[in-house]
Structure formats: structure tokens, C-alpha cells
Amino acid sequence: MELNSKESSEPVAAGDTSATEPVQKKRGIIRRLYDWTLHWAYTPYAVWALLGIAFIESSFFPIPPDVLLIAMALAAPQKALRYSAICTAGSVAGAFLGYAIGMFFFEAVGRRIIEFYNLGEAYQTIYIGFNSNGFFWVFMAALTPIPYKVFTIAAGVCQLNLWVLLGASVLGRGMRFFAVGLLFKLFGPPIKKFIDKYFNLLTIVFFIALVGGFVLVRILWSGHAESPAQPAGGGITQEQPAQPKERKDKDSEAAKPTPGAKNEEPPPKAKEGEPKKEQPKEEKGMLSAQARKKLLQIARETVDAAIRGKPIPKAPIDDPELQGHSGAFVTLKTHDQLRGCIGRFVADQALWKTVREMAVASSTEDPRFWGNRLRPDEMKVLEIEISVLSPLQKIANPLDIELGKHGIYIRRGQRSGCFLPQVATETGWTLEEFLRHLAGDKAGLPEDAYKDPQTEILVFTALVFGEKAGG
């Protein structure tokens, strides 16, 4: 199992710099749509255009109706509040179209909309957040520059109560659009003079704010994408297919993590030439068989719900073993073929919550499978493996790495890569091969980069356990 660590919110493997061209192309499309939207203010169909654009913006259209509302209110301040009411009505009605897309057509339509805006990672976190406070998320998106459409689609996927969607949308959109209308109603002439004088500059600022709304979503809700070495951030890495090699025991532990601790001392290093000692399974600090079984149950139920577009199970977990803070990976396979693997290093929440989030991400977010997502009919043959991680520990000498025990995270500049401990066991690589593959294949660095003093090498251990197909 090979891993790619993600240093940015773009779903691009380490070393891949080819994603900038489509992003720039999409920004050009948005700019043209912005100009197209604005031109309606100077036509006899402005009111109908305002209603229509407000409607479609709530589900897929990238340009918010504010730009048209402002232009119309500027031309006729005495009608500003009427325009605000029309804009609010259209936008709230459009929210139900977004809801329907999420509920009935997510795989065919909704996912394409999310991917068009490069908000796949943010969507997964939003999706999970809806299970705790859907009203708050819809209200905030309706009120702020955050792309409202992502939240209306997520509301449909999670089957948010329609009255909650209606209330949050009316409140948020109403406050936003009527604030604009009231402003022009009360201060129309002075505002008109100011806008006429600085129209070109204000147009640029508004366009920047529009693009900034999408960026804001990715910053606020893609917390997993930060560097795993940062104590307050989250790290998402993805597993790459490795050369298969038969494993003797899927429930054997690759190392000795302590899920409940945050500041453990690194495990003592074995002396050179000293044989490794096999560790008992139920040693202090290890998860019990019951706790492992519960985590696998959470992962399976979560994956099943996620790929079917159903609400994520949210039953509270009281088991003290599962309340400890640890990073974790969830690996999904069918017929020994990888179907998804995403994890995070940062231990900032209960272990069971991390497993639940990574189960959603592994089954629906792994960019290598966006064209071939895990399907509900594969659940019967799905094998799930969980790796519970210890904290990252920086090492100075790569020769201190113990194959089969240590996973490695390597980083230099903006490039990084990661292997789980199981990689060495499954591939049969030597330590040098392990490091060269990690640096060259995963991080996009020279193969001997691990020898460079500027390269950071961090190790971690993992408790690895899994289940056979069908649970």
C-alpha cells in the first residue's frame, strides 16, 4: 500500500503540477458568465433574468444574483426592495432544485457539479457536518459568499428536513438580499455617484470576492488537506496500489500505537543486529478485539451509507477505547484490488470519528476513483482495513527506520509523500528501495532525496486490523 500525502486542497498526487491549466480555464468561464449575468440589467427582461439567475445559482450556476440585483437597484432605487423580494424567492425556490439533485441525481449530476468547482474535499467535510447542524451550515452559506449550491446539494444527499432547509434559506438569503435592497432604497443617489465613479474597480473587486467564496470553502472545510506535521492541522494522504504480496494475518499489528495519548515518547530503537521481538496483541495501549470490531462496524456502515447517498450513521460511541485521539487510515479493497484509501495523521478528535470521516472519504473522495466509484453492489465483496496511527516523530538518521514497523512521511519544500508500514511487508523492499520509491514515486523528489539534510523524514507506527469481504 503506497500513499500520497496532500499538501494542498487540489486532488492531485504528489509531484503532479498539471492541474493549474484547467483551473485557469474555469476562471475564464466564470468571468464570461459574470459579464453575461450583468448585461441582463440593461435589457427589458431584467426582472425575469433576476428571478431565473437567483433560481439556478442555488443549484449549479456559479454567479450569485447579487451582481444583477445591485445593477437593477442602482438603476431604480425606489424598486430595490421589490427586486430583493424577487431575488430571495427565486433563490429559495432554487434551493429545492439543489436538494433534489443531491437526493435523486447525485451520482449523475451532483458529483459533477462538486467536481467542476474543485470542491470534492470540502464537500466531504460539509457532508459529515450536516449530520450535526444542518440549519447552521445552510444559513451560513445562504448569508455569506460561500457557494450556496454545495450546501443545497449536500442537504439533499443527507435528506435534511425540508422545513429546516426552507427556514435557513429564507432567513439567510432574505437577510443578504434585503440588506442590498435597503441600502439602495435609503442611500440610492450617493451610492450611485460612487459606483458610477469607480464602476470598473468595483467590478474587479466583486469578481475577486466571487472567486474568493470558492476559495473560502476550501480553506474552511478542507482542513484535512493541511500538512500532517502541523499540530493544529489535518493531513490527508492517499494509498496507491502496490505490488501484491500475500499477507499471513490481516489482523496482525504493524506496530505499537497508543490511541489515547498525544505526546508519547517514541518507541525505543532496536540495536543494530538485534532480532525484533513479536509483540502480544493485547499489550497495554493496544485496542481490544471488541474495540477493533466496533471500528470496523462503524467503517462498514459509514461506507454503505456514503455510497448510497444516505445520511451517515451518527450513533454516539461511549467506549473509552474509541474516545482516544489518534490519526487513522481506512483502506477499501475488493478482490484484492484497491478501491480507496484516505487517512489523516492529526489526532484532534475521537478515534471513532476519524474512522467514520475517513470511511466517507475513502469511498467517495479518493481522486483516483472519481470515474469508477465504489458501488453498492460491491459491498458484499468489500474488504476493510483500518490503520490506527501513532504521532509523527522526526528522525535524523534514515537507517533508524525499521521496516514493517515504521511508516514514513517525507517532505521537502512543497513536495511530500507517505508509505504505511505495511508497504515494506507487502512489497518485500529493502530499506534503500523503500526510501527511494517513497522519494521518487510518491513525493516527486530525486530518489536519493532522503539523504539530503533539507529533507524532513518523519516516522509513525500503526496498529493494522481488518475484516474479510461482507464483514
Listed range (5-14, 122-131, 132-141, 213-222) with the worst mean pLDDT? 5-14
Q: What is the pLDDT of residue 28?
A: 61
CB within 8 A of 73, min separation 6: which ones? 79, 80, 83, 84, 180, 181, 184, 185, 188
Give pLDDT tens digits for 23-58.
445 456 666 776 787 788 778 899 999 999 999 999
Strands (E), 221-287: 236-240
Q: What is the pLDDT of residue 121?
A: 55
Mean pLDDT of 208-231: 47
Cα-Cα-Cα-Cα dihedral sign, residues 422, 426, 430, 434: negative
Residue with more model confidence, 249 or 14: 249
3-state secondary structure of 108: helix
Q: What is the pLDDT of residue 355?
A: 93
Give 3-state DSSP helix, strand, coil % of the chain, rounded to 5: 55, 10, 35
Give pLDDT tens digits for 90-149.
999 999 999 999 888 887 888 788 777 766 655 655 655 565 577 888 898 898 877 888
Give pLDDT tens digits for 53-80.
999 999 988 888 988 898 888 888 889 9
Mean pLDDT of 357-376: 83
236-261+283-466 domain in CATH 3.30.700.20? yes
Taking 90 as the threshold, does the pLDDT of residue 312 lie above it? no
Q: What is the pLDDT of residue 52?
A: 95
Burial class (CB in 10 A: 0-12, 13-18, 19+), 82: middle
Taking 70 as the threshold, does the pLDDT of residue 404 lie above it? yes
* Residues of the chain above pLDDT 70, percent: 68
Q: What is the pLDDT of residue 400?
A: 86
Q: What is the pLDDT of residue 371?
A: 66
CB 262 within 8 A of CB 347: yes
The pLDDT confidence band at residue 310, using thresholds 50, 70 and 90, is: confident
Mean pLDDT of 188-196: 70
CA 256 to chain centre: 28
Q: What is the pLDDT of residue 211?
A: 57
* Residues of the chain above pLDDT 90, percent: 23
The pLDDT confidence band at residue 207, using thresholds 50, 70 and 90, is: low
The full set of domain ranges for the chain reads 43-225, 236-261+283-466
Q: What is the pLDDT of residue 119?
A: 65
Q: What is the pLDDT of residue 54?
A: 94
Taking 60 as the threshold, does the pLDDT of residue 362 lie above it? yes
CB within 8 A of 353, min separation 6: which ones? none
Give pLDDT tens digits for 151-174.
898 888 777 889 999 999 999 999
DSSP, residue by residue, 30-54? HHHHHHHHHHGGGSTTHHHHHHHHH
Average of per-residue pLDDT values in the chain: 74
The pLDDT confidence band at residue 418, using thresholds 50, 70 and 90, is: confident
The pLDDT confidence band at residue 273, using thresholds 50, 70 and 90, is: very low
Mean pLDDT of 347-356: 89
Taking 80 as the threshold, does the pLDDT of residue 12 lie above it? no
Q: Which three cell numbers stand for residue 223?
A: 482542513
